[in-house]
């Protein structure tokens, strides 16, 4: 059986195709994404204050693209496209 890290937030048929973490590995991916954005923002602020605004902006852009690529890629590969997160929570309460 496949281990899913993410599940749909809305039922199949809803035009919104958002995913949310349902496994600790999914939450770890979200934490890495937030960490990369934070580090990119800190680099942007640091280099901006040092007079190297372009370098800071480039570092932030690289961190944002890397984090977004990781998050979107893994949520597509490790995401359950048929069940919702609410169904996973309901199943967890039964156990």
Q: How many domains does the chain have?
A: 1
The residues near 48 (Cβ < 8 Å, ≥ 6 apart) are 56, 57
d(CA 62, CA 70): 12
Domain that holds residue 50: 21-89
Tens digit of each residue's pLDDT (9 = 90 or more) over 39-57: 999 999 999 999 999 999 9
Tens digit of each residue's pLDDT (9 = 90 or more) over 46-86: 999 999 999 999 999 999 999 999 999 999 999 998 999 98
* Residue 84 belongs to a domain: yes
Cα 70 to chain centroid distance, Å, stands at: 7
* Residue 55 belongs to a domain: yes
Q: What is the pTM of this model?
A: 0.83
* Residue 2 belongs to a domain: no
d(CA 71, CA 29): 6
């Amino acid at each position: 059986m496949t281990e899913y890290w993410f599940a749909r937030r809305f039922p199949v048929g809803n035009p919104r195709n958002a995913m949310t973490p349902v496994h600790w590995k999914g939450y770890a991916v979200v934490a890495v994404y937030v960490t990369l954005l934070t580090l990119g923002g800190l680099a942007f602020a640091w280099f901006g204050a040092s007079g190297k605004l372009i370098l800071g902006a480039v570092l932030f852009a690289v961190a944002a693209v890397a984090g977004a690529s990781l998050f979107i890629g893994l949520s597509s590969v490790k995401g359950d496209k048929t069940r919702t997160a609410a169904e996973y929570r309901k199943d967890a309460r039964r156990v």
